[in-house]
């Protein structure tokens, strides 16, 4: 508890970079924690005053030096994100290039300065037991996606699943994540994304005459599809032709949307259709972007939270093809188009704007908002309610975390034994090859140079195996 008697909550997410959905997670969760003393943190500190009117501290030093009642991860695809990947997305390009060029020891020192002394397994899922002062703090993981864990190496999967088992409450937002946790016997709930509640906390009337069509596309998608191909799809869409188009920047962090690419799209569309009303939407702050979506005629994009905000306000919407987005739409919002390509864009626009699809989608936005609201309120009550700090709750939490740690350590020993056994077999096989090559070299001197090179390669490989 703080000096004021209010519970101390550490919110953790990707608040250190410009990404619409991550910043909305912070703002929406704070709506439900107004009775607590809340600190928002990320794996790396950042000055976010332009978008959030605040600076964001790194959570590592905070957890090392202060005590919290609750550590709460708020949303996002947090399952498989690596610390190095997060560092790449969150630091200026020059800093990351210096990091890549540095020796392993210098890299370690750079991350130590940025994140604190405690090693971090998952940059957006702090493990309370890694920090002695917070070993019994409640842990909530809400509106997260973790399906990517299935593609990690076995030891990486084990570390992430241990964090999830330590948590008091895990809420995932898509069926793929739920299936993964069910397969690994991790208790969880499947519920719609928290950001659906934005229409409850920030109500807006649907305008009689809606605004422009909002189009969002990432730089990565443009590289895959081709910027020219995408611009031509916008220009040639008969069903978009009557409406102004505004290109929507859902985030300018590395790997997200590119203002320069948007300018090129505008130029190309205007070249093909000189009379077409197309430009870049200037709004950048999260709630200004929410208001722009709420008044739009149609949402077109790759941003999951663009689609979610559109559904919350009853705005017609279609999503470009993307695995994460397709999985979410299939689970919660299947009537509006998703999985759309440049070739199918015009048909999808017609489908999204049709009265029949609007009727099928019906009250999905309201229904999802109510469900998400009930889920987050239950999470708050579970960790901040009257019984949240009772001795029985603390004992149960400690027992669960001890069991999770023991299972992980036992698994680590077993995995290490398997790796050592594989290494021993490889070394034995290499020794046999080296011996056979040496025998051939002795018997056939003319082949010695070729066999010598083979031996050197085999010995180098053996040294690398021994070093593992």
176 plus 33 within the same structural domain: yes
Q: What is the DSSP letter of 169?
A: E
Q: Say yes or no to pLDDT of 383 above 90.
A: yes
81 plus 167 within the same structural domain: yes
Q: Say yes or no to pLDDT of 466 above 60.
A: no
- Give the mean model confidence (pLDDT) for residues 357-381: 95
Question: What angle in degrees, to the nearest 10, is found between the helix axes of 364-384 and 304-312?
Answer: 110
Q: Is residue 363 part of a domain?
A: yes
Domain boundary among 371, 402, 435: 371
220 plus 245 within the same structural domain: yes
Q: Is residue 178 part of a domain?
A: yes
Q: Is residue 80 part of a domain?
A: yes
Q: Is residue 384 part of a domain?
A: no
Within 86-188, strands assigned E span 138-145, 169-172
* Residue 444: pLDDT band with limits 50, 70, 90: low
- Give the mean model confidence (pLDDT) for residues 312-329: 94
pTM of the model: 0.84
> Which percentage of the chain shows pLDDT scores above 70?
90
Least confident among 36-40, 139-143, 250-254, 339-343: 250-254
173 plus 210 within the same structural domain: no
Structural domain for 222, as ranges: 199-371
Q: Which long-range contacts (CB under 8 A, 24 or more apart) does 260-266 make?
A: 261/219, 261/222, 261/227, 264/227, 264/231, 265/227, 265/230, 265/231, 265/234
pLDDT (tens digit per residue) in 27-39: 999 999 988 999 9
Q: How far apart are CA 279 and CA 262, in angstroms?
A: 8
Q: Say yes or no to pLDDT of 411 above 80.
A: no
pLDDT (tens digit per residue) in 116-174: 999 998 999 999 989 999 988 999 999 999 999 999 998 899 989 999 998 999 999 99
Contact 231, 276 (CB under 8 A): no
293 plus 182 within the same structural domain: no
pLDDT in the model for residue 415: 61
Q: Is residue 66 part of a domain?
A: yes
431 plus 360 within the same structural domain: no
159 plus 43 within the same structural domain: yes
Q: Say yes or no to pLDDT of 254 above 90.
A: no
17 plus 162 within the same structural domain: yes
123 plus 229 within the same structural domain: no
Say which CATH number the domain at 259 has: 3.40.50.2000
Q: Say yes or no to pLDDT of 436 above 80.
A: no
112 plus 185 within the same structural domain: yes
Contact 50, 68 (CB under 8 A): no
Mean pLDDT of the chain: 90
Q: Is residue 390 part of a domain?
A: no
Q: Is residue 179 part of a domain?
A: yes
* Domains: count for the chain: 3
pLDDT in the model for residue 462: 61
pLDDT in the model for residue 349: 98
Q: Say yes or no to pLDDT of 441 above 60.
A: yes
Instruction: Count CB atoms within 10 A of the CB of residue 55.
Output: 12
* Residue 199: pLDDT band with limits 50, 70, 90: very high
163 plus 242 within the same structural domain: no
Contact 147, 177 (CB under 8 A): yes
216 plus 132 within the same structural domain: no
Q: Is residue 396 part of a domain?
A: no
- Rg, Å, the chain Cα set: 26
* Residue 184: pLDDT band with limits 50, 70, 90: very high
Cα dihedral 286, 292, 298, 303, rounded to 10, equals -10
- Give the mean model confidence (pLDDT) for residues 285-299: 98
Q: Say yes or no to pLDDT of 57 above 80.
A: yes
Q: Which structure tokens are listed for 411?
A: 């698994």
Q: Say yes or no to pLDDT of 445 above 80.
A: no
């Amino acid at each position: 508890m703080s000096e004021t008697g209010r519970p101390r909550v550490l919110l953790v997410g990707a608040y250190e970079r410009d990404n619409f959905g991550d910043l909305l997670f912070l703002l929406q969760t704070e709506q439900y924690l107004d009775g607590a003393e809340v600190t928002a943190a990320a794996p790396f500190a950042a000055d976010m005053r332009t978008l959030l009117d605040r600076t964001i501290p790194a959570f590592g030093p905070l957890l090392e030096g202060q005590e919290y009642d609750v550590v709460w991860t708020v949303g996002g695809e947090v399952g498989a994100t690596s610390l190095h990947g997060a560092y790449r997305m969150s630091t200026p390009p020059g800093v990351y290039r210096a990091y890549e060029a540095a020796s392993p020891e210098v890299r370690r020192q750079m991350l130590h300065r940025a994140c604190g002394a405690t090693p971090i397994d998952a940059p957006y899922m702090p493990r309370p037991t890694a920090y002695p002062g917070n070993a019994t703090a409640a842990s909530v993981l809400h509106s997260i996606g973790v399906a990517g864990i299935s593609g990690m190496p076995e030891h990486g999967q084990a570390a992430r699943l241990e964090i999830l088992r330590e948590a008091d409450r895990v809420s995932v937002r898509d069926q793929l994540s739920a299936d993964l946790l069910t397969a690994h016997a991790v208790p969880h709930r499947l519920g719609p994304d928290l950001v659906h509640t934005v229409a409850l906390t920030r109500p807006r009337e649907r305008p009689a005459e809606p605004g422009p069509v909002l189009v969002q596309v990432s730089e990565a998608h443009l590289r895959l599809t081709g910027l020219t191909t995408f611009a031509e799809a916008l220009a040639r869409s008969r069903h978009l032709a009557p409406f102004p188009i505004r290109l929507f920047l859902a985030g300018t962090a590395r790997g997200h949307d590119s203002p320069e690419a948007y300018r090129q799209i505008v130029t190309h569309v205007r070249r093909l259709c000189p009379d077409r009303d197309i430009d870049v939407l200037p709004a950048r702050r999260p709630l200004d972007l929410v208001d722009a979506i709420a008044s739009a005629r149609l949402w077109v994009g790759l941003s999951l939270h663009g689609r979610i905000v559109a559904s919350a306000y009853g705005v017609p919407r279609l999503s470009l093809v993307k695995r994460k987005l397709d999985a979410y739409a299939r689970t919660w919002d299947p009537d509006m188009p998703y999985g759309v390509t440049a070739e199918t864009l015009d048909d999808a626009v017609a489908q999204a704007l049709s009265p029949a699809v609007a009727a099928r989608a019906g009250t999905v936005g309201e229904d999802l908002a109510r469900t998400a609201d009930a889920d987050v309120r239950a999470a708050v009550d579970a960790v901040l309610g009257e019984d949240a700090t009772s001795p029985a709750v603390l004992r149960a939490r400690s027992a669960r975390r001890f069991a999770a740690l023991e299972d992980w350590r036992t698994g680590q020993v077993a995995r290490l034994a398997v790796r050592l056994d594989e290494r021993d077999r490889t070394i034995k096989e290499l020794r046999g090859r080296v011996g056979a090559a040496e025998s051939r070299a002795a018997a056939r001197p003319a082949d010695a140079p070729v066999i010598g090179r083979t031996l050197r390669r085999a010995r180098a490989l053996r040294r690398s195996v021994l070093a593992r």
